[in-house]
C-alpha cells in the first residue's frame, strides 16, 4: 500500500504543479495579448487599401522583371518606402511584407515567361495601384 500512496502522491503533486502552471499562464494572459487600445493602434482604417497596394507591388515587381523591364528593385523600394512610412509596429510591417510576398509568389506560380496576358496584368495592376494611391491621398490627411 505505501507504493500506491507514493504513486498517488506523485500524481497529486504533478496535477498540482500542472494546475499551478495553468493558473500562472491564465494570470499572465492579459500581458501576452494586446489590449483593445493597442489593437486599435495596430490597424488603421485604410489598411485594406495599403495591403492591396502591397500585393499589387509584389505582383508588378515579379511580372515586370519577368518581362525584362529593367526596373531592377524599383517596386521593392516602393514597398520599402510604404513600410517605412506606415510600419509603425512589427505586426504592421509583417502584414505589409506578407501581402507584397503573396503578390509576388502568386504570379511567380502563374507565369514562367512573359506573355501577352502577363503584360495585360501589369497594365491593370498599375492602373489599380494608381487608383488606390489616389484614393489614399484624397481620403487621408
Share of the chain above pLDDT 90, in %: 58
Note the pLDDT of residue 53: 96
64 and 7 belong to one structural domain: no
Radius of gyration, alpha carbons of the chain = 25
67 and 130 belong to one structural domain: yes
- This prediction has a pTM of 0.70
Distance CA 20, CA 5 (A): 22
Nearest of 107, 109, 128, 105 to residue 118 by alpha carbon: 107
What is the average pLDDT score of the chain?
79
23 and 55 belong to one structural domain: no
The total number of structural domains in the chain stands at 2
Query: Residue 87 domain-assigned?
Result: yes
82 and 19 belong to one structural domain: no
Domain that holds residue 109: 45-139
Per-residue pLDDT for 141 more than 90? no
Question: Can you state the angle between helices 90-110 and 47-66, rounded to 10 degrees?
Answer: 40
Query: Residue 36 domain-assigned?
Result: no
pLDDT tens digits for range 47-103: 999 999 999 999 999 999 999 989 999 999 999 999 999 878 899 999 999 999 999
Query: Residue 27 domain-assigned?
Result: yes
Q: Provide the grid cell at 72.
A: 531592377
Pinpoint the alpha helices (H) of the chain. Answer: 2-32, 36-42, 47-66, 74-86, 90-110, 116-139
Share of the chain above pLDDT 70, in %: 69
Per-residue pLDDT for 5 more than 70? no
Query: Residue 88 domain-assigned?
Result: yes
Query: Residue 133 domain-assigned?
Result: yes
61 and 104 belong to one structural domain: yes
134 and 65 belong to one structural domain: yes
Amino acid at each position: 500500500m505505501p507504493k500506491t500512496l507514493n504513486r498517488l502522491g506523485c500524481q497529486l503533486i504533478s496535477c498540482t504543479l500542472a494546475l499551478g502552471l495553468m493558473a500562472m499562464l491564465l494570470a499572465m494572459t492579459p500581458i501576452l495579448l494586446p489590449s483593445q487600445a493597442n489593437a486599435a493602434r495596430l490597424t488603421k482604417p485604410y489598411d485594406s487599401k495599403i495591403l492591396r497596394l502591397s500585393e499589387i507591388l509584389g505582383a508588378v515587381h515579379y511580372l515586370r522583371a519577368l518581362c525584362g523591364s529593367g526596373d531592377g528593385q524599383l517596386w521593392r523600394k516602393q514597398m520599402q518606402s510604404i513600410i517605412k512610412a506606415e510600419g509603425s509596429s512589427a505586426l504592421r510591417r509583417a502584414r505589409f511584407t506578407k501581402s507584397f510576398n503573396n503578390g509576388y509568389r502568386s504570379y511567380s506560380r502563374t507565369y514562367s515567361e512573359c506573355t501577352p496576358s502577363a503584360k495585360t496584368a501589369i497594365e491593370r495592376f498599375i492602373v489599380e495601384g494608381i487608383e488606390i494611391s489616389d484614393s489614399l491621398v484624397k481620403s487621408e490627411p
